[in-house]
Each structure stands twice: as C-alpha cells, then as structure tokens.
Structure 1
C-alpha cells in the first residue's frame, strides 16, 4: 500500500499502522466522554435512582453531580477499563476495515456514491462486533450498578454474575452460559448498519463537499477544524435516527439484573420500554446522547486523520 508520499508499505505494515491510528482515535474519544456515557446508560435503562434526572437538559449535570456525591469521582469512570478494552480494538479493526473496504468498493472518485459509502460504513461497524460485544455488555452492567456497598463492583464480579445468569437459565443458554454475554446482540447488529453506515456516509459526503467548495489553501489551514465539525455532524445525524434501537439494546444488556434466568426478546423489551414511559421512553437520554456524540465522533474522526498523518498512511 502506498503512503502519503508515494512510498510502498507491505500489507502487514499498513494494517499495523492503520490499526494503531484507529485504536488511538477510539481510545481518546471514549475517554473524553466516559462520564457522559455512564449517565446516558443509567437514563436509557431507566435506573430507579436516576429516572428523576431524565426529561431536562439540567438533568445530565445533576446526574453527574449525584454520582460524584454518592460514588466519588471514580464513579464517573466506573467500567471505563472495559470501555477501552472494547473501544480500542473495535476502532482499530473498524477503521482498518474501512480503509480496505472503501478502497475496494470505491477505487476511484466516480465510484463514491451514497450507497457505496453507506455499505462501507455498515461493514466497518459489523466487522469487530462479535469479538468486542462481551466487553460492552460487561461495561453496561458496571455502569448501571449504583449500590453503595463498601466493595466497588469490578469487571470480574460482573463476569461472574453474567455467567451465573447463564447457568441458571434453561435451554441452550443454560448449557452454553457464555451466550449471556451477547444479550441484545441482534438489536446491536441491526442498529450498527444504519448507525455506522450513516456516520461514514455523512463524513465522506461532507468532506467531498468541502473539497469541492473550499480553496485548497483554506482546507490545508483548517483541516482539523473542518474534520471536527464534520465528525460532530456525522455522529449527531446517525444518533438521532438510530437512538430507539440503542435504547432497546441497552435495556436488553442491563436486563440480567431483573431477569437473570433468561434473555428477554425484542418484542418484550419494546413493550417494557413503552409501558415504562410511552414513546418518550425510546428517546430517554437523547439529549445527553447528543451532547456525548458530538465530541465523541468529532474527536474520533479528527484524531484518526491526525494519527494517519503522523504515521504517514
């Protein structure tokens, strides 16, 4: 693969550099918004202690303050190690796959259609999910834990709890308890296609528009700012359109605490969310979700480009 200066890299070296750039971008973005992510999960799963903070823009700030008061500053980052364990390899694999897939299905500018951009982004989102999804489930379990016991919940205690749920259930999940680490996986898969596909569709489309409208000197001087703005817009658009699926996914992921002996299905989850809060329940936490997604994708996509430039790919 050629670098920015026309030098050739071996496939192995290109993949290593691309994975390093993607992993750096994913880790940086997730660390920056980790406290907001925890609050969003608590609101999405209708946690009894935090339901009073939903429905207003001030609720997010009040929820953050409440976590610090009851769990200390470390509570804002409860489960963050698991977030990084998922986010870094997910971003490393995802961005590397996107580089390869986009070059394959869009080798020249005339091939860069909306459908192909959406397809490349969807493949990117799906690529790392089977390997990294259990980390996300464990992270959600840690995020929704609000008990004031002297022992702080750990990833290992969450793992043991999920495995116990699997063993106590009947059917195939009782025989293969590891399947309980994939609660909500089907909904995640369905949501990832439009979500990741939409992000890269908007990202590539707006970047192409910027290159067509702005003078090269302006692009060069403001490249990082432009990438931050476009990344934020891309994340915002995708978040709004796919948010109900995310609420359903989070509810299923957290459901083991209420239904440890079985995995609740899609229809049952939709019904429970509707009965809890009506149609608004599918958008609980959207405000903080948007506050989180703008910097997440702005930082992730912009730092990805900066890392690629630094690594000369």
Structure 2
C-alpha cells in the first residue's frame, strides 16, 4: 500500500524494472507478515470451520491461548505452522501481484490529487484483490484443508496428500477434478471486493487526512508509526464488515472433507452455519481474526515500506 504522493510516471523500460522491484517488495512483505501470524491464522480457521475439537475454546478471549497450548500439546510446536508452506505459496505471489497491481492501478485511476476520489480508491483496491485470485485460490483451499486436520503430529498431513484427496473428491462428483480446487471461489470473489477495496480506501483516505492535518516534520519523523496505525485500522474495519462472507467461504472450502460427492452452495452453507450456531456462527473466530489482522497489516505495510526503500520503488 503506497501513499498517493509516491506515485510518479515511468517510461516503458523503467516500467518493467518497476514491476520487478515492486513484486519483490510486495512478496517480501507478504511472506514476513504471514509467518508472524501463522499460529493465529490456523486457530482462526479451526474456529471458523467449527472443528469439533476446538468448539470448547471458541467464544472467549481465554480460548485463544488455550487453543494454542492444545495444539502444542497434541501436535508439537510445528503444529502451529501446519499448512504454512501452502500459506507462503499463496501469500508471497498474492502480495507480490497485489501490491504491484495496486501501484499500477493507482497511477492509472488517480494520476492527480483531484482524481483521488473514494470510488476510485475503492475500485483500485477491488481490482487489486481480484487480480491474483484465480491463480492462488487452490493454494488457499489446500491450506484450509490441511489446517482443519487434527491428527497426531507423527501423522501430519502433507500438501500432496491434501491435493490428492481434493482431486479424488472432484472425480467422485463426476465433474472436472480441477473445479474442486475452487470450492467457495464465488463467495471469496464477492467478499474480496469490499474487503480489499475497503482496506485501500481507508488507507488512502487516512493517509490523505494525515498529510492535511500533520506537519511535514511530524510525518517524516513518525512515518512508520503512522503507517502501522493506518494499516491496522484499515484491516480491522474491513475484517469486521466482511467477516460473515469469510466464514461462509471457509465453510465451503472445508466442506469437501464431509461431503466430497458434491459442492455445497451458498444458501446451504448459510443454513448450515445458522443451524449450528445461529447468527453468532457468522462471527465465529472474529476475535482472533481481529487480533491477527492488526499485526498482519501493520507488519506487511512496514516490511513493504522498508523493502521499497531498499529497492528504490
């Protein structure tokens, strides 16, 4: 996420160079942020999918450390990072593409301060969120399916076993097996527009206000702290607004383990969540989601800014 003041025109050759450096900076930021919050991410998925062994921990702040201890006791410390390889395989290219697309989209949609409207900021963020989804979504599905496995650490599921299982489920449904790697893709795409769009909208808007209200000296001295705070606020607001869609998406992604013969739809998923937990079910894991989003967006933004300075993006 870059401030609008950093936008500058580039020629064709410099444009290619910019793409490479921007992708490296974005990928670095995505990998660092995801690694930092990987244990919380796994617990959030287990809460969202109403894993039977984790229902006892959901619904209270004390449940988060209890869940962490439970994983360490039953699976070891490595259990906190189960599926993390797939997380990085998804997060690094997603961040690399996303940040680069956002910079490019911002330059095209908002070349001058006068064109920096709320709608264009939202549109640039939405385009960013959708840009890499078709390519990285299968990695996310595999990661979710690995994360919900609660076997003993000596029988830890591997990515290849998860891929084989998902592929076999697709064949059992008499459809193209590759389509089974896109369970929940539609609701994910729908949720990405307000989520990513909202993040960048809030990010740019608050940055603009900070430039108007704070002195140049304050902005220069406390740039990192300001960026950390704005990134955390943007991620938190977007998370709360779009969280029910995320729960539906996670439930659809996890559904293959219980109903491999078919792909459950949006209405059936909503009914299933409502039947199991009522309206609160659509916010299951929100507490840990918020705890995770604050450091995720803050770390990602800080790491990205450092990488951009080093690479002169």
TM-score range, shorter chain: over 0.9
Please give the per-residue CA displacement for 1:159-210, whole angstroms capped at 9, x wherever unaligned: 00000100111xxxx2410100000000000000000000000100111111
Query: Which sections of structure 2, spanning at least 5 residues, go unmatched?
Result: 1-5
Distance (whole Å) between structure 2 residues aligned to residue 132 and residue 7 of structure 1:
30
Indicate whether 1:160 and 2:136 are aligned.
Answer: no
State whether structure 2 residue 115 is matched by structure 1 residue 111.
Answer: yes
The equivalent residue for 1:279 is 279
* Aligned match of 2:35: 31
Q: 1:185 maps to which residue?
A: 185
TM-score w.r.t. the length of structure 1 is 0.96
Unmatched segments (≥5 aa) in structure 1: none
Q: Which moved more, 1:299-308 or 1:262-271?
A: 299-308
Q: Which whole-Å CA distance do the structure 1 matches of 2:213 and 2:266 have between them? A: 45
Are the counterparts in 1 of residues 75 and 153 from structure 2 also a CA contact under 8 Å? Answer: no
TM-superposition CA deviations, 1:33-62 (whole Å, max 9, x none): 000000000000000000111110111111
Q: In the TM superposition, what is the alpha-carbon distance from 1:84 to its structure 2 partner?
A: 0.2
Matched residue, 2:207: 207
What pairs with 1:217-256 in structure 2 (closer than 5 Å)? 217-256=217-256
Distance 2:7 2:66 in 1: 48
| 1:189-243 CA-partner distances (Å, limit 9, x unpaired) | 0000000000000100111111111111111111111111100000000000000
- What CA distance in whole angstroms lies between the structure 2 residues aligned with 1:8 and 1:307? 23
Which residue matches 2:176?
176
TM-score (norm. length: structure 2): 0.96
Q: Please tell me whether the aligned partners of residues 114 and 201 of structure 1 are also in contact (alpha carbons under 8 angstroms).
A: yes
Structure 1 CA distance, aligned partners of 2:82 and 2:253?
16
Structure 1 residue 8: deviation in Å?
9.0
SS at match of 2:52: coil
- Runs of 4+ in structure 1 deviating by more than 4 angstroms, as ranges, are 6-9
CA distance in 1, matches of 2:275, 2:175: 32
| Structure 2 residue matching 1:287: 3-state secondary structure | helix
Q: Is the 8 A contact 2:26 2:98 kept in 1?
A: yes
Contact 2:27 2:96 survives alignment (8 Å): yes
The answer (yes or no) to whether the contact 2:129–2:193 under 8 Å persists in 1 is yes
Match of 1:71 among 75, 97, 101: 75
